[in-house]
Structure 1
């Protein structure tokens, strides 16, 4: 499994492309502004896009989804608790003065605890609300990698002042779904550079005061 990052757009959002182990499949995780470049890579390698997995449906994570659905037949997966966020994409874009093409609705709901298998690679779903009501993270099996969306960043955490956000819920999600992963797990966030579970557990200024030395 090879993971490529495409950072783009006014929110500098990370779109992730997973080139699957079978050599012919690919998976898109969060269809942000870098989606076009990610799809160019899929086409250049002659791969088939098998799925579009959304950690959540905030504007910056779906503003490339319409293009993805035009260029590929891959189904979109989203937790149903984030459907209301998805449906407000156009209104949110208008509020920020940004162009937005409304994408087709999600094809399949994501369920907490399910496992996806694409091209010989597997991803476990962990429900992690707080930043968004239906936020999930995708944890790769067999490799120490987790796609954490906007739950936690390198040295920071997701904002909770948007509709459906809640700080207490977010902190519980980080504690239960992120910090319980092995120390060496790479955390690939929706914005900024990657980090690791161990670094955030020991150094993240939003987490250390909250949990003290419990996870150190």
Structure 2
């Protein structure tokens, strides 16, 4: 699915990858044709095909968190294009270290997955750039301890990984997951960005923070007794 943001300089395409249909996101600057791939969990050929289709030059790989369906192909993609890896937060280093263990758990489905070394870990207040596009970084732990979110303010568009979904939230039953921390990340770090913000989740359809604040059974105002 290829879409244009309200800010015509930013374009994006959502590329479902891996057996979990994870939303790998291809962002690019329309003016320069420089691109970033967020969460290349697998299916590199699909990602490469999208880069070619739009005549793009890959500038970097961005990672929201280091679960295998989001980060499994990071090493191979960054190596093939000789580009930097930015993200996640340093608290997800242990998940990077566990990529081999994660691979064993799922058998042959993620046989390509390799441990990778981020060029730069990210934290709250950082920015990442490609072409003429700048994304703000928000630290949103809970699903994993080092989960981050990317936000493009001019187009009011966020890539939130597995923090928030349409009608749901990320799981917290994995090692070092924490439910209260996740709720705090959503309510106090994401929702203040504004109800009009559209977001790309790690799985499933897009939504807006306003819609989730209104009706999400886990983090809506009504669910938490807020007005």
| Shorter-chain TM-score tier | over 0.9
Deviations 1:134-193 (CA, angstroms, capped at 9, x unpaired): 000001021110000000000000000001100010000011112112111111000001
Map 1:124-163 to 2 at 5 A: 124-163=136-175
Contact 1:36 1:64 in 2 (8 A): no
Contact 1:90 1:100 in 2 (8 A): no
Q: Distance in 2 between matches of 1:34 and 1:2?
A: 21
Q: Distance in 2 between matches of 1:74 and 1:164?
A: 30
Q: Distance in 2 between matches of 1:129 and 1:148?
A: 11
SS in 2 for 1:108: coil
Contact 2:14 2:24 in 1 (8 A): yes
**Structure 1 match to 2:186:** 174
Higher mean Cα deviation, 35-44 or 81-90? 35-44
**Structure 2 match to 1:94:** 104
SS in 2 for 1:199: helix
Q: For structure 2, list consecutive stretches of 5 or more residues without a partner in the other structure.
A: 1-9
Quote the offset at 1:34 in angstroms: 4.2
Deviations 1:17-57 (CA, angstroms, capped at 9, x unpaired): 00213232001111122443122222344322111110100
**Structure 2 match to 1:7:** 16
Higher mean Cα deviation, 164-173 or 7-16? 7-16
**TM-score, length-scaled by structure 1:** 0.93
1:58 pairs with 2:29: no
Q: Distance in 1 between matches of 2:194 and 2:113?
A: 39
Quote the offset at 1:131 in angstroms: 0.2
Compute the RMSD of aligned alpha carbons: 1.5
Deviations 1:113-132 (CA, angstroms, capped at 9, x unpaired): 11122211110001000000
* Count of aligned positions: 214
Q: For structure 1, list consecutive stretches of 5 or more residues without a partner in the other structure.
A: none
